[in-house]
């Protein structure tokens, strides 16, 4: 257990990014995530009260796992301020806040949170498992660093698929400004935190072994062009997601009529 938690430092070498161990582990998580989301989503499509219960449990689980990870990091690094390097300011870790908002809030804030989880949850699940080069190139696959990261990313992906399949998401045009507001708030907070604490929240400073490295290298790591480009990609992705959803919804309505 101490080895799994890395309390004495990992004695096992990292199996490596895109190793068969990495791919087997994350593929297993993705398959379980998808099966659960499809089964529960189809079951609860006509039961809004039950829908919310599923999201509440997901919110409790994802935040509980993240708190556990931060506590372990604090113990093994003898650093009571370890949480400062693990703030929910990555695109995927924003779900630590938006999933609870989707589960426990009401009104337009809840609608926008549901949409945000729906839009970014599945993307985060894929990027944070298959393309987490920094993690899987540094730590053993079966370690607290990678197991907790894999679980939290897949909980986000589960919530995204579950919201889609159960029909909870509205994707209403009126909620688009709120969705952009959520993204903008976290981008600004991440940018400030990166300057203050030399972190890389929202990957606004560098790529860190992720596909963002392509963009970073493309613009030569420019301190202004790179972060602006990252945010622009987020905005484009949101608009594209909304547009595809509206087109699919309109098509279904046309077929029904």
- Please give the average pLDDT of every successive group of 10 residues along the chain, which has 257 residues: 89 94 97 96 83 93 95 88 83 92 91 92 92 91 96 97 90 86 93 90 87 91 93 92 83 58
Q: What is the pLDDT of residue 255?
A: 57
- Alpha-carbon distance of 225 to 240, in angstroms, equals 22
Listed residue (40, 37, 18, 24) closest to 157, CA to CA:
37
Q: Give the range of the structural domain holding residue 73, as residue numbers without chain letter.
A: 2-256
Q: What is the pLDDT of residue 252?
A: 62
- Alpha-carbon distance of 195 to 189, in angstroms, equals 10
Q: What is the pLDDT of residue 251?
A: 65
Q: What's the Cα-to-Cα distance from 1 to each of 16, 38, 78, 119, 151, rounded to whole Å?
A: 21, 33, 18, 36, 18
pTM of the shown model: 0.89
Q: What is the pLDDT of residue 80?
A: 83
Q: What is the pLDDT of residue 38?
A: 96
Q: What is the pLDDT of residue 91?
A: 82
Domain count, the chain: 1
């Amino acid at each position: 257990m101490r080895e799994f938690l890395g309390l004495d430092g990992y004695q096992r070498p990292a199996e490596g990014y895109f190793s068969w161990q990495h791919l087997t582990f994350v593929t297993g998580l993705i398959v379980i995530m998808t099966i659960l989301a499809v089964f529960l989503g189809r079951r609860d499509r006509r039961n809004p009260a039950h829908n919310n219960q599923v999201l509440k449990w997901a919110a409790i689980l994802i935040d509980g796992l993240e708190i556990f990870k931060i506590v372990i990091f604090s113990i093994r690094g003898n650093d009571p301020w370890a949480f400062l390097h693990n703030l929910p300011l990555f695109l995927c870790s924003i779900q630590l806040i938006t999933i609870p908002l989707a589960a426990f809030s009401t009104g337009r804030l809840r609608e926008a949170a549901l949409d945000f989880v729906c839009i970014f949850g599945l993307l985060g699940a894929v990027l944070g498992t298959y393309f987490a080069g920094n993690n899987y190139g540094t730590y053993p696959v079966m370690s607290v660093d990678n197991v907790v990261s894999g679980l939290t990313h897949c909980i986000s992906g589960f919530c995204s698929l579950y919201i889609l399949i159960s029909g909870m998401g509205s994707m209403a045009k009126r909620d688009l400004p709120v969705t952009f507001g959520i993204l903008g708030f976290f981008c600004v907070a991440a940018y400030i935190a990166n300057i203050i604490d030399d972190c890389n929240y929202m990957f606004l400073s560098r790529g860190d072994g992720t596909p963002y490295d392509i963009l970073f290298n493309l613009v030569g790591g420019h301190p202004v062009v790179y972060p602006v480009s990252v945010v622009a990609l987020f905005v484009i992705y949101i608009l594209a997601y909304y547009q595809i959803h509206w087109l699919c919804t309109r098509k279904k309505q046309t077929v029904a009529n």
